[in-house]
Amino acid sequence: MRFRRGARLDTSQVSDRRGRGGAAAVGGGGVVALMFLVFQLLAGGDPSTVGGDPFQDLVAPGAESGAGELTSACQTGEDANQREDCRIVGVVNSVQEYWTAALPGYRRARTVLFNGSTQSGCGGASSAMGPHYCPADTTIYLDLGFFDVLEQRFGAEGGPFAQAYVMAHEYGHHVQNLIGTLERAHRGDRDGPASDAVRVELQADCLAGLWANGATETGQIETITEEDVRLGLDAAAAVGDDRIQEHSTGRVDPESWTHGSSAQRQGWFLTGYRGGGMRACDTFAARRL
C-alpha cells in the first residue's frame, strides 16, 4: 500500500496524546499484561470496563500532547509512506473520505494516539486493550505498540495494509454506531459462533473490506496490491477467536467466541472487498457465517 506523494494529510482527524501516562500504566507484567488484556478485549471485553478507573486522572478528555509535532511531521502522502504515525493519519483520512461519500449523514470520528494509558468516554483506556472504538465519544483509541504485539505475539506478518485493516475495522464499528447495529453486540447473544456479538464483529470486517475496495478512489492512497490484501487477511486471521484461544489456552471453544474465527473474519473482509455495498455486509441476515 502506497500513498499518493502529493496528497495532503488532515491531522485534525487524529489527536496525539503520546507521552502522557506512559507505559508504566500497563503494569510490571509489560508484554504479559498486554497479551492478557488484548486477549480479553478480542475475546469480548468491553472497552468501558477493561482498565477501569485507575487511569481516569491521567489525561483529561481533550488534553493533547505532541499535536504540533504530528501536524508538522505529517503533511503529505510521502510522509505517510515514511512514518508509521503519519500512515495512520493517512488511513484515517482515507477511511473517512470513503464513508463520507458512501454513507449519507456520515459524521467523522476522531482517532487518539496514546501510549500507556489515557482517558476515554468509556472510562480508562490502556495500551493493553488494543485498538478500540468508544461509542460514547465516537473515538478510536490506538497505541501504536499494538502492531508490534500483533506481529511478535499473535504471529501476524504485519505491514502497512495490515495496520490499515485494523483501523478500517474500528471505523467499521463507528459506522455501525451510526446505522444502529453496534448495540446488537450487547443487546443480543454475547457469545457463540453465530451470536450477535460475532455478527457485529464480522460486519465490521466486511465494512473494512468495502473501504479497501474503494480506497484508491479517496485521493490519499495510490495503490493496494494483492500482496497488501494478503497481509490484511493474515492480520484478520491472527485475531480470530480460534487462533487466539489456541495460542492462549491450547484449545478452541466455539461457544465462547465473540469475534469470529480466523476463516470467518477473512471471509467477511473479502465479501466487502469484492464489492456489493452495505447490503453485502448484512451479517445479521446471513444464515451461515
Per-residue pLDDT of the chain (289 residues; tens, 9 = 90+): 999 999 999 999 999 999 865 433 323 233 333 444 444 444 334 444 333 322 222 233 333 444 568 989 999 999 999 999 999 999 999 999 999 999 999 999 999 999 999 999 999 998 888 899 999 999 999 999 999 989 998 889 999 999 999 999 999 999 999 999 999 877 766 778 889 999 999 999 999 999 999 999 999 999 999 999 999 999 999 999 999 999 889 999 999 998 999 999 999 999 999 988 999 999 999 999 9
Cβ proximity of 149 and 31 under 8 Å: yes
**What is the Cα–Cα distance from 148 to 135, expressed in whole angstroms?**
26
At residue 67, the pLDDT reads 54
Q: Are residues 211 and 101 in contact, defined by beta-carbon separation less than 8 angstroms?
A: no
What region does 226 belong to: left with phi over 0, alpha with psi -120 to 50, or beta?
alpha
Q: Report the SS3 class of residue 78.
A: helix
* Helices 196-214 & 84-102 angle (0-180, nearest 10): 100
Residue type, 184: R
pLDDT value at residue 127: 85
Q: Which cell goes with 246?
A: 489456541
Residue type, 268: W
Can you give the pTM of this predicted structure? 0.85
Strand ranges inside the chain, DSSP E: 2-3, 14-16, 110-113, 117-120, 123-126, 132-134, 139-142, 221-223
